[in-house]
Chains A and B, each alone.
Chain A
Amino acid sequence: MGELQQSNQLIIMGLSLNTYVLGLWLQAALTFAILSFLIGDNPVYKFAEHLFVGISAGYGVVIVWKQAALPLLIFKLLPQLGPTPGEAANYWVLIPGLLGLLMLARFIPRYDWLSRYPIAFTVGLFSGASIPAAVQTQLLEQAQATMKPVLGLGGIHWGLALSSLIVLLGVICTLTYFYFSKPHEGTLGVTSKIGIWFLMVAFGAGFGNTVMARLSLLIGRVEFLLYEWMPVISVHFNNHMQ
């Protein structure tokens, strides 16, 4: 097997490889492999796609083991294996540990009903936590922010006052659109129509921002290819020409 001689140098069977350069070439190759999907589905893309799935899953296992399983369970039960060997063992973690193991019963069809206990606990817990949070964050605070005063300390700032009224009108009209207990006719029809317009503005803003976000991702890859990978090629080329 190879050994790391010094930083960025890997010796495999007598051949010296610069891991930094090797990494850049690998990154470029995998980038092009995924981009090849734009021409059409092909084996190179499929290979890269399946490689991604495997590597990501493996990464998840490693991170969960090192930053969750070890400190939350293993080092608590067997402190001599951890960074504080003198500490007393904490066997209370066996309770959530067992509950967690019950969740894995989902893999055994005959015993998958056992997984309901940990799921009931966690779903119940977070449902309970979310109620006061949702009331506070999404209802009360947002309602308060919608009811902005028209009169400021220095008098009426007309631009701001009009904008605040627009927000108030928009929120009320949007809410009437989502009221389906009565047909949208007459006054309710007018307000729900206005509500749809505000929704369309929100969705249009969302689409515009989404376009920006997606293009930024492509720009990121192009920046890598042009500013990190291409310079390596030009160095190789120059070295070869000398």
Chain B
Amino acid sequence: MAIGFIAGVFMIVQFFVPHAVATQGYELLLDWARIIGAFALVLGIGSLFRTHWDKIRRRRSGYGYNAVTLLSFGLMVWAGILYGTGEGSIGQRLTEVQDGATFEWLFNNVQVPLDATMFALLAFFIASAAYRTFRARNIEATLLLVTAVIVMLGRVPIGEMIYDRMPDVYEWIMQYPAVAGKRGILFGVALGSIATSLRIILGIERSHLGG
């Protein structure tokens, strides 16, 4: 708790103090945060590895797919770190920053299409949701629906063909009433996040520490 308090208070104070000592301390703490941030990524990957390995070990239903996950993980790590550019000894490849052609090839031809298509599925789901669930049950829902339709028309060339000022209507909605609604939410979120940050610094909020 004391560590969090000191770090937090220092960051607030240094915002107002341009002295060189404050700046040096600030840079040092940021350097530390960047290094610790790298380990946080390792945590996520370690959890993933453990989950899948556990399922394979216990021969859970569909464990073949978990083997696919771990094998493809191994392939990518081999291509990126152990094989790299394919030149030099293993030691040289381990400390090479440059990405190899094989690693880039796997990224562009395996990861990119999988990632992109996974999210492209959302287009179908949103169409299905629009048809099945988007109902004008009351005034508020009707207002939401009408705004959505105007926005969808205003954002494509065909909307301008239907009514030449449709893009202007879109811009007006986005710049004025939508901004008003969003700003109200923003103020609430800002006050909430300031309150939460203060609670964390003062040690009142400890859920991130498992308390």
Q: Which residues of A contact B (CB under 8 A)?
A: 4, 19, 22-24, 26-28, 30-31, 34-35, 37-38, 46-75, 81-83, 93, 95-97, 99-101, 103-104, 106-107, 112-113, 116-132, 134-135, 138-139, 142-143, 146, 163, 166-171, 173-175, 177-178, 195-212, 214-215, 217-218, 220-221, 224
**Please, which residue of chain B has its CB at the minimum distance from the CB of A106?**
B43
Contact partners of A31 in chain B: CB under 8 A: 113, 116-117
Interface contact A60-B45, CB-CB below 8 Å: yes
Chain B: interface secondary structure? Answer: helix
Find chain B residues with CB under 8 A from A59 CB.
76, 80, 107, 111
Partner of A55, one of B62, B114, B198: B114
Give the chain B neighbours of A97 by CB distance below 8 A. 35
Q: Say whether B172 contacts A163, CB under 8 Å.
A: yes
**Contact: A58 with B152, CB < 8 Å?**
no
Can you list 15 A-B contacts (CB < 8 A)?
Answer: A30-B113, A49-B118, A50-B66, A53-B48, A60-B45, A61-B81, A68-B41, A96-B35, A117-B3, A125-B7, A127-B196, A167-B180, A200-B141, A204-B147, A207-B151
Cβ–Cβ < 8 Å partners of B34 in chain A = 68, 72
Please determine whether A64 and B112 come into contact, CB atoms closer than 8 angstroms. Answer: no
- How far apart are the CA atoms of A195 and B143 in the complex, in Å? 13
In the bound complex, CA of A63 to CA of B80 (Å): 8
Does the CB pair A54–B73 fall under 8 Å? yes
Closest A residue by C-beta to B149: A208
- In the bound complex, CA of A101 to CA of B36 (Å): 8
Contact of B186 among A58, A74, A142 (CB under 8 A): A142
Q: When the two chains form their complex, are residues A38 and B124 in contact, meaning their CB atoms are under 8 A apart?
A: yes
The CA of A40 and the CA of B76, in the complex, are separated in Å by: 29
Given the known A-B contacts A82-B95, A202-B181, are A132 and B120 also in contact in the complex, defined by CB atoms under 8 Å?
no
A172 to chain B minimum Cβ distance, whole angstroms, is 8
- Contact indicator B197/A127 (Cβ below 8 Å): yes
Least CB distance, B10 to chain A, in whole angstroms: 7
- Say whether B201 contacts A124, CB under 8 Å: yes
A200 touches B144 (CB 8 A): yes
Partner of A131, one of B75, B116, B197: B197
**Distance between Cα atoms of A198 and B99 in the complex (Å):** 50
Judging by beta carbons under 8 Å apart, are A26 and B201 in contact? no
Residue of A nearest to B111 (CB): A55
B11 at the interface (CB under 8 A from A): yes
Q: Does the CB pair A56–B115 fall under 8 Å?
A: yes
Minimum C-beta distance from B72 to chain A (A): 3
User: Which of A74, A82, A97 has the most chain B CB within a 10 Å cutoff?
Assistant: A97
A135: chain B residues at CB < 8 Å are 190, 194
Residue from the list B3, B31, B196 in contact with A124, Cβ < 8 A: B3
Residues of chain B lying within 8 A (CB to CB) of residue A67: 97
B105 an interface residue at 8 Å Cβ cutoff?
yes
Indicate if the CB atoms of A50 and B73 lie closer than 8 Å: no
Q: What residues of A have a CB within 8 angstroms of the CB of B200 in the complex?
A: 123-124, 127
Q: B16-55 interface mask toward A, CB cutoff 8 Å, 1 = contact, 0 = none?
A: 1000000000000101111111111111111011100000
10 A-B pairs with least C-beta separation: A170-B180, A58-B76, A174-B184, A208-B151, A124-B4, A204-B147, A202-B181, A62-B80, A128-B11, A54-B72
Smallest CB-CB separation from A167: which chain B residue? B180
B114: which A residues are within 8 A, CB to CB? 30, 34, 48, 51-52, 55
